Each structure stands twice: as C-alpha cells, then as structure tokens.
Amino acid sequence: MGKAEVVVDTNVPLVANGKADQAGLKCEDACVRKLIQVQAECQTLLDDKWLIIEEYRRNLSHAGQPGVGDAFFKWLWENQANPQHCRIVPVTVHADRGFVEFPDDASLSSFDLSDRKFVAVALASRTSPRF
C-alpha cells in the first residue's frame, strides 16, 4: 500500500508558524506535529496550475525559517517533483465555481474562493486524501 495522500491548506503551516491569532498553543502544536508527519509519512497533493505552491510562497518563507510551517514549505518546494513526496493533480479552471472539479452545488456558493483549489485537488485526485 502506498503513502497516504494529503492536501495541506495554507492555514496549517501558518498556524504551525504561530501566525494565526485565532489558534491557541494546543492547535499550533497539533499543526507542527501534523506537518512533521506529512513530511515523513505522506504524499502531498498539489495542483498542476501551481496555485497551492503560489499561495504558500506568498505566505511562507522559502528560506525554511523561522517556523515549522516555513520549513515545511521549503521541504515541499524541494520535493515537489519527487513522486515519493508529492503528486501533481490536474485541475480545470472554471469561471464561476473556480474549478470544474469543485462541486456545482448552490449550498457551497459562499465557500471561500481562495480555498476551492484545495477541494478541487482532493476531488480530482480520486483517492480520498486526508486534510
């Protein structure tokens, strides 16, 4: 059996960096542990349009410092082409929903547009990744 696949929302490394006022120390610690686990045990899913990587780049440090979230981004950047650690998933941009792969469901119309890429990648992967 292969590695578990995951989609990592940008908030996880941001919380791990201590850059989310709404998250307490317990949550920050959980995010740190999860990012370490992802690097050791999982395959991270990324979109073929590089939208997830670009969002990470805007919010995290390429240098891998000073936080664990930054270290995760550096590791991911260095391993994005390594199929042991990452898998690139094709997604299709849609003018209204953001992505063809994002459900066409009126109850999701208020779902944050900037987070739809994570859902689209998860659904397009066809493997039921973890979040």
Dihedral sign for Cα 61, 14, 27, 84, please: negative
Return the minimum-mean-pLDDT range out of 14-18, 37-41, 126-130. Answer: 126-130
Mean pLDDT, rounded, for 39-46: 96
Mean pLDDT, rounded, for 34-58: 97
Q: Domain limits of the chain? A: 4-125
* The pLDDT of residue 131 is above 70: no
* The pLDDT of residue 38 is above 60: yes
125 or 130, which is more confident? 125
* The pLDDT of residue 1 is above 70: no
* The pLDDT of residue 10 is above 90: yes
Under 8 Å between Cβ of 68 and 35 = yes
* The pLDDT of residue 26 is above 80: yes
- pLDDT recorded at residue 128: 73
Q: Which helix (H) or strand (E) holds 122?
A: helix 116-125
- pLDDT recorded at residue 23: 85
As a whole number of angstroms, the distance between CA 3 and CA 66 comes to 28
